[in-house]
Amino acid sequence: MSSFLSSKFAALEAYVPGEQPRDKAYIKLNTNESPYPPAPGVLDVISREAVADLRLYSDPTCLACRKAIADRYSVGVENVLVSNGSDECLNFLFMGFTEPGAVFADITYGFYKVFGDLHGIEYTVIPLNEDFTIPVEKFCAAKGTIFIANPNAPTGIALTLEQIEQILQSDPNRLVVVDEAYVDFGGETAVPLTGKYSNLAVVQTFSKSRSLAGARLGFTIAPAEIITAMDTLRYSTNPYNVNRLTLLAGQAAMEDEDYFQKNRHAIMEARAWTKAALEERGFAVTDSMTNFLFARSDRIDGGELYTMLKDKGVLVRHFTSARICQYNRITVGTMEEMQTLVAKIDEIFAEKGV
């Protein structure tokens, strides 16, 4: 670590992205990317003329992309902020809205702890229930800005809108941030509640259901006062935070509803097939409402299964923390990819004689 780095960051533990090995071709089921290409309209707008315009700054208001999002979710443009990935939205919310502290689960998106440490925020970590569900009553009683991934990651389990409302109503003077990165795969979006509750911000991403992980585009929908405050932070850090091509791609992806629906349903169907196939082989699998499965088997150690699958050209994500070290998170790919995954698991069990 550089001696010039501020001492307050010396002990910072950075977020660890999913591995991206290049040593051979893999079936990549470890980073929750979409197996499908972006919507056809995205290719149409990324033209030679659009590329030539990269010499110009992007629109700092991101107006056309924000309008496409606003139209899709039946909210006002003033209720939408777009960002360089949903992580930037979360960064703004941790940076500017956590003076009373932050609250999040012990098993959830790892960036929450990183943002808390980065900004020197006092945070409360609430353990999930034994079945990995969120203890709603404990979140209702907690003090500080609440961050809930819904559906949660890496467990895949979702709260109902009634449970979200219970948390919102428990303290109207406390901000609740609902991180909906995976909501399009079976969860219920809290976006309609932003017109009812002044203490709610909903964060979503184009990375999963809209096949734009590499473009880096996210958004927040919230009451106008919250969006205005977030925009102040955005203009104070990087007013051109979303590049021209990403704004075009995001608008085109948001406007192609048929393609969006087709792909998300294909992923949900592949998820259901894979869950059933794993359970037939004795796996315990959570009730995922996401584009991934969270699974463990008593027939093999979780870390060993991860390693053996990698050796066979299939990448999944393994976590080492005590409560989930026997689980692997498996991204849902195409049906063909999921059939290959199950076949490789069968090979591993046969090799081990279990």
- With cut-offs at 50, 70 and 90, classify the pLDDT of residue 16: confident
- With cut-offs at 50, 70 and 90, classify the pLDDT of residue 236: very high
- With cut-offs at 50, 70 and 90, classify the pLDDT of residue 106: very high
Among candidate residues 275, 287, 265, the one with its CA nearest the CA of residue 341: 275
Q: What is the pTM of this model?
A: 0.96
How large is the average pLDDT for residues 284-298? 98
- With cut-offs at 50, 70 and 90, classify the pLDDT of residue 2: confident
How large is the average pLDDT for residues 122-128? 98
- With cut-offs at 50, 70 and 90, classify the pLDDT of residue 10: confident
Residue 246: the pLDDT is 98
Residue length of the chain: 354
Is the pLDDT confidence value at 17 over 90?
Answer: no
Question: pLDDT tens digit string along 161-204?
Answer: 999 999 999 999 999 999 999 999 999 999 999 999 999 999 99
Residue 217: the pLDDT is 98
Is the pLDDT confidence value at 327 over 90?
Answer: yes
How many CA atoms, within 13 angstroms, populate the side-chain half-sphere of residue 44? Answer: 8
Annotated domain spans of the chain:
11-37+258-352, 40-255
Provide the 8-state DSSP code for 25.
-
Question: pLDDT tens digit string along 296-322?
Answer: 999 999 999 999 999 999 999 999 999
Question: pLDDT tens digit string along 107-121?
Answer: 999 999 999 999 999
Is the pLDDT confidence value at 1 over 80?
Answer: no
Provide the 8-state DSSP code for 325.
T
In the chain, % of residues over pLDDT 70? 100
- With cut-offs at 50, 70 and 90, classify the pLDDT of residue 248: very high
Is the pLDDT confidence value at 223 over 80?
Answer: yes
**Cβ neighbours for 229, distance < 8 A, ≥ 6 positions apart:** 96, 97
Average pLDDT, the chain: 97
CATH tag, 40-255:
3.40.640.10
Whether 272 contacts 140, CB under 8 Å = no
CATH tag, 11-37+258-352:
3.90.1150.10
